[in-house]
Amino acid sequence: MRTVPDIKMALPGPKAAAIVARDNKYVSPSYTRDYPFVMARGEGAVVEDVDGNVFLDCAAGIAVNSTGHAHPDVVRAITEQAQKFLHMSGTDFYYEPQVKLAEEMAAIVPVGGGTGEVRSFFSNSGAEAIEAAIKLARYATKRFNIIAFLGSFHGRTLGALSATSSKYVQRRGFGPMMPGVYHAPYADCYRCPVGLTPDGCAAECLDYIDHQLFLQVVSPDEVAAVVVEPIQGEGGYVVAPDAFLQRLREMTRKHGILLVVDEVQSGMGRTGKMFAIEFSGVEPDAVAIAKGIASGMPLGVASARANLMTWPPGAHASTFGGNPISCAAALATLKLLKERLMANAATVGARLMDGLKGLVGKHPLIGDVRGRGLMIGVELVRDRQTKERATTERDAVVNAAFRRGLLVLGAGKNSVRFSPPLVLTAAQADTAVRIFDEALSEVEGRAG
């Protein structure tokens, strides 16, 4: 496959334009579609559109294609499984790929105190993994309230949506939401909700839960779970400091509340560790996983301490959940992550982070660069003092990058996210920085 060209393209090309027009007529208009990229094929971190234009992919289908596009080991695992059988429903029957994957999850998911006493429920998506975790928390604690965070994204099915609080368009018109969900401020240190600076902060944003929610709104002994993303994804790639997650763990433990960590976007090696929560040393009670686990095949997993996942046969299930092809793809993906790609995410991620931080002096639009491994967000502002959100400028930068051959997505109101496949090379990281630099210059009105 060709490398990313050093040109500004007129997009969409004719074939892409025709497909976009048909899509506009027949496909639900609820999808976001920031720019008209129409995929034809991909290899590693490079993708080609239907008109033969080549792009560097720093979006990875929203942080999904962890092993890159069409990794031969993953394709082989899928093909070999497809030649045996496609489906037999894990709800009613047994098949070994699912059992193998559950064993693998028990070894990597940071619950159960390293004993391996972990059980996993398999579904098809991140939202379903969250639904399973919420239902399990309610079932196990016999309590029904849930605490989630402002800016969070947990999915679009009604239970998960009730915990989601990222953008109102995701909730507008769909109410009423599931009762018993409360939202608290997240540790967004660039825009501290309680006006502090990160140095010496003891996660005072959590005082809201202790001093207001628990005293005035909901009794802690009626709260089943706190659901939290260690790094908010859709909310803008906001990294929670360790102290926030550690205090949350203390608080939940004190009140017998389960701590459910949403690693749908931050998990599976993307941050340089298998799960982002590991940076804080916190051990949650349950973890929701999806996206990167099967390199692009649909799979959601809710893993929990074995002594928590004791619901009886028939309590929860899914016809397609944990289908054999997704499980085979996940097993091949996990092997690649452990062998090389998780480490690559750490080293190439550090290089990409350095490169993006190196643009701060040149581009007044950049307010903050943050992240871990290959999960990096750049928040754009109109003024570094007031931190006024550069919303339209963000969209323009994402589009300018597209026309120059770089696929990135927005996150939150005014951030750009870099979530490439974990096979990204150092040279590709440098290309991403170069194109992003040009895109910023174009939007800032300089010669591009």
Ligand X SMILES: Cc1ncc(COP(=O)(O)O)c(C=O)c1O
> Which residues of this protein are in contact with ligand X, per CB under 6 A?
62, 125-127, 130, 153-155, 229, 233-234, 262, 264-265, 290
The rounded distance, in Å, linking the Cα atoms of 429 and 349 is 8
Contacts of 80 (CB under 8 A, 6+ apart): 328
Contacts of 152 (CB under 8 A, 6+ apart): 163, 164, 165, 166, 183, 186, 227, 228, 229, 232, 235, 262
- Token code pair at residue 363: 């581009």
Closest separation between CB of residue 209 and ligand X, Å?
20
Closest separation between CB of residue 290 and ligand X, Å?
5
Of 153 and 402, which has the nearer Cβ to ligand X? 153
Contacts of 381 (CB under 8 A, 6+ apart): 365, 366, 367, 368, 387, 388, 389, 390, 414
**Phi, psi dihedrals of residue 109, rounded to the nearest 5°:** -75, 130
Of 66 and 431, which has the nearer Cβ to ligand X? 66
DSSP helix/strand/coil, 52: coil
Closest separation between CB of residue 261 and ligand X, Å?
10
Of 301 and 381, which has the nearer Cβ to ligand X? 301
| H helical segments located in 142-289 | 158-163, 207, 242-254
- Token code pair at residue 334: 């996990």
Closest separation between CB of residue 263 and ligand X, Å?
8
Of 63 and 381, which has the nearer Cβ to ligand X? 63
Closest separation between CB of residue 144 and ligand X, Å?
21
Closest separation between CB of residue 235 and ligand X, Å?
9
Contacts of 400 (CB under 8 A, 6+ apart): 438, 439, 442, 443, 448
Closest separation between CB of residue 8 and ligand X, Å?
30
Cβ neighbourhood burial of 109 (10 Å; 0-12, 13-18, 19+)? buried
Of 233 and 355, which has the nearer Cβ to ligand X? 233
The rounded distance, in Å, linking the Cα atoms of 428 and 430 is 5
| Number of residue whose CB is nearest ligand X | 126
The rounded distance, in Å, linking the Cα atoms of 323 and 88 is 8
Closest separation between CB of residue 377 and ligand X, Å?
13
Of 138 and 154, which has the nearer Cβ to ligand X? 154
Of 37 and 237, which has the nearer Cβ to ligand X? 237
Contacts of 445 (CB under 8 A, 6+ apart): none
Of 118 and 293, which has the nearer Cβ to ligand X? 293
Of 154 and 270, which has the nearer Cβ to ligand X? 154
Cβ neighbourhood burial of 249 (10 Å; 0-12, 13-18, 19+)? buried
- Render 151-167 in DSSP notation, one character per residue: T----SSHHHHHH--S-
Contacts of 119 (CB under 8 A, 6+ apart): 102, 106, 303, 304, 305, 306, 309
The rounded distance, in Å, linking the Cα atoms of 100 and 249 is 30
Is the dihedral angle over the CA atoms 145, 185, 275, 408 positive or is it negative? Answer: positive
Of 127 and 245, which has the nearer Cβ to ligand X? 127
Closest separation between CB of residue 240 and ligand X, Å?
13
| H helical segments located in 48-183 | 60-63, 72-84, 96-108, 126-141, 158-163
Closest separation between CB of residue 229 and ligand X, Å?
5
Closest separation between CB of residue 125 and ligand X, Å?
4
Of 229 and 368, which has the nearer Cβ to ligand X? 229
